[in-house]
Chain A
């Protein structure tokens, strides 16, 4: 803290507030600081929630209430503290959220009433304002519950009255009541058993503490951006990437385990790190500290250098957040299926799909739900039921798309009261051919019939790698060779993918057909798939050839010819 000496020092917040009268604009600065500090610690307050109680996120509610209070005065040029306090109280009242917000607004209301028309905030009026805030808040409830924000307000007001005996400077009084508020918060579990059982302190009380502490931190020129829960147990550190958006300067995440050679001075430690990065968390346990920080690319080694200067580093992990964020976006883009919305009374199609690409195609063709599954992972009957039981219709058509899944799909009928028909599609191409004939508003029986007929109008080719040497139907293949199945029947073994495709197409009498669709699997690259499509095109120039990313496991290609 800067001391009050005769040497002239540059004008600091401390000098401004300590040595000059606090007017309405000063009060506004303090409210702004309180809001910032409360926001910084919002999650800490939220986590103090005694589950399960109805007043959910106390931190959020208090932040919203303080935000409303600040918004009310943000552009207010008023210099009279009393009038400013009334404006704050009005904003808090209008924006009060949740129990804690209402109590907070009552504290401000009493605070404002005590300052009525007071030009400056002096020590006496500050103490009176705390007392009036407490009285007003207590009036708002029949049976005040102790061990809550009310108790903290009461203890703070008492501490202020006591401090007034020693000093009349409002800032000195504020400085003295912060530890009292802190102590009062720590004492709340003794007064309220439910807190003790949950092993937490009262969230509203803690929020009030942050509001007061934020004001003092601002006056003392301390940062309002880094949560100062000081050190938390390692187990409670929240290191899971829950970032939704990256802000500039959050390129890398560093987690550093270190053992300081001398006890850490947290104040200096945080100040130093704030120069480097954001989202700073410090955890302690098992004799070491764990530091979490987000830093811009150019400063990615600085936290390491800094912690190394303090002691011994045992472990460092560094992650590129920008890259992770992009990867997550790519993933979420893929998993979001454009499923059909089913209206009551319509028919819904449930398709079993062996890969994300194929799932996407079924969804875009009108499937209302997708069940993951295929050759090597057959979905259970239960999984299929889950997929449709919440749809708002009782007319259900299932496309198993694999001959091993047809039975499981048919068993669904025993588990549901809905009207279920299974189209016996033995492969993805058959399923696709069927869904092309699907009409959601059609007559159930005739739609089922159309779809069942369509199944047989397509030739299915599947190309995969033989897992063992085998001879079936006179065709011998060796382990590791590519095998070709035509409508589920083994026809061919070869070592080249082009050969496999061409062999199947010939067998399927493709010359007399119009369309060839190639779904390439997860074990094949796009380039490779397109290269093979070009080879096929040179052999079948009259046919329409489409290449789609099926994403299915194990099968290099699923080929549909129609």
Chain B
């Protein structure tokens, strides 16, 4: 029978740094090369490109390289491509690629996310910050109240958990502490020194209840995931990781009108599309650009009840490398750097292939969930090694 599944095959990642001078196209190329090598593919076998959020000309450091440029720069003959921000979230670029390969529009799709925010901020003469006289679109409902950063929007969801469910700073700290403990085992991670509870609790507040260590740091890096069609899987030399289910549900596309962040309906919908259950998951790689988002994803994906996320991670043992649900084993965005969503799927594949080295989850993991996004942005991918 024809194999109509979709798989993540080659994965790659550039160095992760701050204020890198290597051109972002070349960082992307570094990640592409590593992914091609791992998959045993050549650039000539790539016929699709997918990215999030596409080239953002107005804020170039956020996304300096788009699908269009990569196609032309690397000489790719693309039978399908897409790049844009109006998609379920960062990993929505993978969801789009899966649709492409399952409908025969492409065989091997490079999905990538390149970030260059630290370098761009350090070199405003090359990456000028845009001047706006007025704000419009969704920004108009936040910026006039100086709620400028996503940390302000996320913090309000976190505060609701503090007030309604008793989430404590000591509980929330476990995301940052766990991330940093895992990052110490990841040679590529940005922050390789452990973080102590005392350091966390004495850090300055950014937007209550979120402190400095609850926020990721602008980074420069590129991450690539190749999505391959089942019909072309014989061309690949690495262990293919099957995309067993996907979800990306949004009920109100808004950071303040929605009672629940989009991860909640997304998590519920993921399990409607598979026979796997949360208890089958061997490791979770969940978006933590702000720590609270990982807590929300744990609840949303059914690893604990809504409101129980703080107690679920309390003490940190359950989400440690040798715990019952190892979380963000590459260091997450708080430890490894702001890879912006793609790092979570990358690490899920690393773990399912048993290539984690010092940070490998014990017990031969076969099922992983990865997720990206906060607020109205949410994508969940369930990945399995058959």
Q: Do A and B bind each other?
A: no
A binding-site residues for B, Cβ under 8 Å: none
